[in-house]
Structure 1
Amino acid sequence: MIEQVTSLDADGDTTTVSLRGEIDVLTVEQVRVALGEAVAGRPGRIVVDMAGVAFIDSTGLGALISGFQRARDQAIDFRLARPSASVRQILVLSGLMEVVQVIP
């Protein structure tokens, strides 16, 4: 059984998608679904809390990029929050930090 790696929390005009564990080919569908639900709720802002993410692979990055694009298409502010140093390095190398705002 795959561990649950996502949770959603709506507070006012902000929806937080909290990710934890390893985001890879085995868990990426949960991330896609959670981001899709967040966008469907049409909040003003989506914050993806990455503090609990130990590892993210290219499929996970793809899910984040897709979520960002869907949010942007709906005029929803999309931000990544609190990535660990190792995850931040992957975000930098992928170029994702050039298009998505990362907050501490």
Structure 2
Amino acid sequence: MTLAHAVSHADGQVTIVLAGEADIAGRDMLRDVLFDAVAERPARITVDVRGLVFIDATSIAALIAARRAALHHGCAFVVTNTRGQVRRVLGITGVLTTLTRTQLPRQATDQAG
């Protein structure tokens, strides 16, 4: 199964819906989709992972890098609808709370200082 995505734009927000397997085979596409959204500098980026059945370390790294870039550029970033293997892996790796909590850019700046 490959990684599929759909991107929608509404009211200054970008929503990316992912489905399939987020593994090394889809790494470049995932990074491109995420960083294209960051480049638009919307107020908020939501990554809906309800359709993912698998996620690996390369995809988690892409999500973390995109979140960091989004916050740096003043965009809120959140991953939603985690379930099954994706939720377990994000939890085991210690990034579930970070990725699924809406953090505004100002909060990120305050915490970094």
TM-score (norm: length of structure 1):
0.89
Aligned-pair identity in percent equals 29
Give the TM-score of the pair, scaled to structure 2.
0.83
| Equivalent residue, structure 2, for 1:24 | 23
Unmatched 5+ residue regions in structure 2? 103-113
Measured in 2, the distance between the counterparts of 1:5 and 1:102 equals 24
The structure with the greater share of residues assigned to helix is 2
- Greater Cα offset, 72-81 or 3-12: 3-12
Q: CA RMSD in A?
A: 1.7
Aligned length: 102
| 1:53 alignment partner AA | L
Per-residue CA deviations over 1:45-77 (Å, capped at 9, x if unaligned) read: 000000000000001101111111110111211
Moved more, 4-13 or 33-42: 4-13
Deviates more, 1:85-94 or 1:55-64: 85-94
Take 1:69 and 1:102, find their aligned partners in 2: how far apart are those partners?
13
Give the CA deviation at 1:4.
5.1
Q: Secondary structure at the match of 1:33?
A: helix
Q: For residues 97 and 64 of structure 1, what CA distance do their matches in structure 2 show?
A: 11
| CA distance, structure 1, for counterparts of residue 100 and residue 56 of structure 2 | 19
Q: Given residue 26 of structure 2, which amino acid in structure 1 is its aligned partner? A: T
Query: Partner of 1:31: helix, strand, or coil?
Result: helix
Give the unaligned 5+ runs of structure 1.
Answer: none
Pair 1:90–1:10, CA change in 2 (3 A): same
Q: Which residue of 1 aligns with 2:34?
A: 35
Q: Highest Rg: 1 or 2? A: 2
Moved segments of 4+, more than 3 Å:
none
Give the corresponding residue for 1:99.
98
| 1:95 partner SS | coil
